Amino acid sequence: MSNKTLIVIGNGMVGHHFLEQFADSPAAAGFNVLVFGEEKQLAYDRVHLSEYFSGSTHADLAMGTADWYREKGIDLHLQEPVTDIDREGRVVTTPEGTYHYDELVLATGSYPFVPPINGKDNANCFVYRTLEDLDRIRACAEGARTGVVVGGGLLGLEAANALKSLGLDAHVVEFAPRLMPVQLDDDGGALLRRKIEQLGVQVHTEKATTAIVDGESSRLRMDFSDESFLETDLIVFSAGIRPQDTLARSCGLEIGDRGGVIINNQCTTSDPHIHAIGECALWNQQVFGLVAPGYTMARTLSAFLNDDRDAAFTGADMSTKLKLLGVDVGSIGDAHARTPGARNIRFNDEKAGHYRRMVINEDGKKLLGAILVGDNSHYDTLLQYCLNGIDLPENPESLILPESQGGAPTLGPDALPDSASICSCHNVTKGDVCCAIDAGATDLGAVKAGTKASTGCGGCAALLKNLVDSELEKRGVEVSKDICEHFPYSRQDLFNIVRVNGIRTFRTLIRQHGKGHGCDICKPTVASILATCWNEHILATDHVPLQDTNDTFMANMQKNGTYSIVPRIPGGEITPDKLIVLGEVAKEYDLYTKITGGQRVDLFGATLGELPEIWEKLIAAGFETGHAYGKSLRTVKSCVGSTWCRYGVQDSVGMAIHLEHRYKGLRAPHKVKMAVSGCTRECAEAQSKDIGVIATENGWNLYVCGNGGMRPRHADLFATDLSDDELIRIIDRVLMFYVRTADRLQRTSVWMENMEGGLDYLKQVVLEDSLGICAELEQHMADIVGTYQCEWKSAVEDPQKRKRFREFVNAPGQKDPVQQWTTERFQRRPVLASGEA
C-alpha cells in the first residue's frame, strides 16, 4: 500500500523519461506519483519540433499516452501549473488546490531568452519552444513574405528552416561574428554560412538589434546598432535558453549566480527532499541544454530514490551531430582547443564544401575534440576516439582526410571496447547492445526496444546499425536489409505497401507502417515512390519536406550556390525559334551556356529568385522541365536517322521524341538515360544507356541496363526486330518492373546484376509474363503518362509555390554578395576557390 507521495513538476522530455525509469522500479510501489504540466498536451519530442511544420501532429511527436500513465498508476495533471512550494509543510499549490509530497522533482526545463529590445512584445514577435508557439507562428505566416530568426545557434537554425518550410524568405540575425559560436570555429562557421545562404537563408552576423518598430514595406523593421535595418513580417527569438527556476527561487532553494537550481551528484537540491533534473538544474556551475544529459540525470535520480547510493551524475558529453537545413554539422568534445597544450589539425576542401578540424593533446596520442561541417561521415569514428581514449594512429590526420588522399577507413565496431558509448541520450554502451543481442534481440528494432539506443536525438543511428549488423553476423544471424531504422521494409516492400493501400503521404505511411519521424534515407525514397505511384507535384505541401535540395528547387544547385536551367529538348530536336529564345534568356540573365552530351542546352548561373522568371519565359516559348534535378528520365539521345542520314534505316529522331514524351514524367530509384540510333553505326551510343534502341531493317533492337559513369556497363540485347508498338510495350514493362523492385539509388545496371537469374529472369518476367503482372505494369505506365504535368509550369502558375523561390525581399535587385564571377572564353563563370586549377 503506497504511503508516500512523489510529485514531479514538469511533463517535458526529461520529466517523462524520469517517470519511465521510476515507474517500473522497486521503489515505485511505495509511492503515489503525481505529475503536473503547464501545457495541455502530454510530453512530446522537442528535438523534432520543426517536423510539426511538415505535417507531424502532437500524436506523432508524443512520448507516451494517457493510457500509459493510467497503467503505471501515475496521476497526471495537465494544464495545471504549480504556483508555490511550501518546503516546511511539503505542500505544492496549483490553481486547483494543494498537494502534499514526501519527495519532489523539479523538471521545469527552461524558457527562451528574449533580449531586452524595445518592441520585442509586438504581436508579430514569437519564441520557438512549444507546439502552441508553432501554431501562432504558422498563423502569423499566413499572408507574410519574410521571417527573421534572432539567434544563429542550433535552435535558431532549426527555426529558420521552419520558416522556410512555411514558404517565407528566412533571415538569421546573430550577435556573434559567426553561426553556432558555441560549437564551431571561424572557418567552420564561415562554411556553414556559405552553405546556408546557398540554400536561400540570408545570414546577418555581428548584428545587435536596438529596436523593433513598424515597417514600411513589411509589418516590422529591425533597427541595428550599426544604423542598418532589416524589414520583416515576423520575428522568432531563438537566442538561447535560461533555466526555469522561478519556483525554486520563490521557495528559497540555492540558485546559481546566473540561474539554475544547484544540485549535487545525486541530483538533489539544497533541500534533501527536493530534486532537480534537466535544463532547470545547475551542476558544477553548468546548465546542460541538450536532452542527453537530462536523461542521464533522470536515470541517476531514479536509481538514487531506489537506494542506489553509488548513483551519481558526473557530467555529460556535449558532442552534437546535426543536419541543419540539410547541412551536416558535428562538434565533439573540446572543439575549441581550450585544453593546455592542445594542438590542431585542419582539413578544408572549399571546392567540395567540407571542413574538418581535429584537436589533439600535446603528445599527439589522444583526440580531445573535433569540428565537422559539410560531411559528418567521420563523426562516429572521431567520437569514439574521443570518448573512449583510443590511441590515435601514427598519422592522426588520416582520420579526417578523404580515402583518396590517404585517409584512414572508418573505425569499425570491432575496434570499440565494450565500454564505448553508442547512445549518449540513453547511456547505452557497446556492451549493452551485445547483451541485448545475447538476450534474444535479432534485429535493429529489437535492440532499440530493449536498450532505447537511438530513440533520443537519433545521432547514433548509423553507428548503432553497423554495430548490430556486425554482432548479428558474428552470431550467424541473417542481417536485416530494411531500408532504414524507421521502416522494417525494403524499398520494394514500401512500393507495394503504398500502391496496394493507396497511401499518398509520408506521414500516413510512417504512422501506419513505420515508426519515428523519418530520415534522409527514407524520406527521399518515399518521395520517389509516391511520385511514381500518384504523380502528384513534388512541391505539394505534403511532399516538400521529403525532397532533397535539387528537387526542392527543381534545379541542380551548382558549386557556388547558383542553379542550372535545363529545359527538355526531346530527342535533341529543336526549332530555330526555340534556339533563339534560349539565347535571349541566357543573354538577359548572363547565364553560362553549354551544349551537353545528352543533346541539351544547359544554362548555368541562375539565382534562386531568377528561376521562376526564367522558366516563365521558357514555358511561354514551348519548353518543359528537363527533370535534370530528379531521379527520373534525363535524356533520350538520337542521331538524325533515316530522315537525313544515307545509312539510316529508321526514323531515330521520331522514336527518340516519342520515348522522351512518354517517359518524361516517370520518377525512378535513380536517373534513367536512353538513346535511339538509326542504324548499327550507333552514333547515339545507345548501348551505353539504361534503355538503348538501335534500328534494323525489320524494326528495332532493344538493349537494357547499360550505363556510363564510374563503372561503365555495356547494355544487354533484350529483344530484336520489334515493331513500334512492341518496343513501347516492352520498355513500359522493363521500366515499371525496375521502378517497383530496385533498391534506393540503384541504377538499372546494378539492379539487373543483383537480380537472381539476371537477364534471363528479366526476360521471363517481361517477355513471357512469368509473374502474370505485365498487364498491370502496362496500365501503371499508362496512368503515369496520362497524369503528366510539367513541374515548372505548375510551379510558376501557383503563387504559393512561387513563394519558395523569393530572396532579398527587402532589397529588390540586390546582387547576392556571396557570388563572385569572372569571364572565361567570353562567358561568365564562378571565381575559383583558392587552390583550384
pLDDT digits (tens, 9 = 90+) for 188-245: 999 999 888 887 899 999 999 999 999 999 999 999 999 999 999 999 999 889 999 9
pLDDT of residue 724: 95
Q: Does residue 833 carry a pLDDT above 70?
A: no
Question: Would you say residue 835 has pLDDT above 50?
Answer: no
> Tens of pLDDT along 478-493?
777 788 888 988 888 9
Question: Whose CA is closest to 244, among 267, 266, 276, 285?
Answer: 276
Q: What is the pLDDT of residue 571?
A: 87
Is the model's pLDDT at 304 over the cut of 90? yes
The answer to whether the annotation marks 251 as part of a ligand binding site is no
Q: Are 319 and 331 in contact (CB under 8 A)?
A: yes
Q: Which residue has the higher pLDDT, 270 or 680?
A: 270
> What residues form DSSP beta bridges with 367?
360
Report how far apart the first and last C-alpha atoms of the chain are (Å, whole number): 79
Which of 35-39, 407-411, 599-603 shows the lowest mean pLDDT across its residues?
407-411
> Which of 25-34, 47-56, 391-400, 626-635 is least confident?
47-56
Query: Comparing 4-111+243-305 with 114-237, is the CATH topology the same?
Result: yes
Tell me which fold the domain 4-111+243-305 belongs to: FAD/NAD(P)-binding domain (3.50.50)
Split at pLDDT 50, 70, 90, the class of 375 is: confident
Tens digit of each residue's pLDDT (9 = 90 or more) over 230-246: 999 999 999 889 999 99
Phi, psi of 445 (to 5 degrees): -60, -40
Mean pLDDT along residues 776-792: 92
Residue 405 grid coordinates:
588522399
139 exposed, middle or buried (CB, 10 Å; 0-12, 13-18, 19+)? exposed
Query: What are the boundaries of each domain within the chain?
Result: 4-111+243-305, 114-237, 317-411, 416-480, 491-547, 630-789
The verdict on domain 114-237 having CATH code 3.40.50.300 is: no
Annotated binding-site residue? 457 = no
Per-residue pLDDT band at 409 (split at 50, 70, 90): low
CATH T-level fold of 630-789: Sulfite Reductase Hemoprotein; domain 1 (3.30.413)
31-36 and 74-77: which strand pairing?
parallel
**What is the four-CA torsion angle of 171, 165, 493, 711, rounded to 10 degrees?**
-40
Q: Which of 694, 722, 695 is closest to 706 using CA atoms?
A: 694
Mean pLDDT within 393-422: 77
Task: State the pairing for strand pair 343-349/367-373.
Answer: unpaired
Percent of the chain with pLDDT over 90: 53
**Distance, CA of 663 to CA of 630 (rounded, Å):** 13
Q: Tell me the residue type at 796.
A: V
pLDDT tier at 815 (50, 70, 90 boundaries)? Answer: low
Q: What pLDDT shows up at residue 19?
A: 96
Residues 802 and 78: their CA atoms lie apart, in Å, by: 41
Is 125 a known ligand-binding residue?
A: no
Q: How far apart are CA 236 and CA 249, in angstroms?
A: 28
Q: Classify domain 416-480 at the CATH topology level.
A: Arc Repressor Mutant, subunit A (1.10.10)
- 140-149, 171-180, 545-554, 807-816: the lowest-pLDDT one: 807-816
Q: Which fold has domain 317-411?
A: Enolase-like; domain 1 (3.30.390)
Residue 406: pLDDT band with limits 50, 70, 90: low
| Mean pLDDT, residues 746-757 | 86
**Taking the CA atoms of the chain, what radius of gyration do you get in angstroms?**
30
The average pLDDT across 572-587 equals: 91
Q: Which pLDDT belongs to residue 713? A: 84
> Is 484 labelled as part of a ligand binding site?
no
Task: Return the amino acid letter for 723.
Answer: S
Whats the size of the chain, residue-wise?
837
Residue 606 — very low, low, confident or very high, per pLDDT cuts 50/70/90?
confident
Residue type (1 letter), 614 = I
pLDDT grade for 819, boundaries at 50, 70 and 90:
low
User: pLDDT tier at 599 (50, 70, 90 boundaries)?
Assistant: confident
Looking at residue 610, its pLDDT comes to: 87
pLDDT at position 1 over 50: no
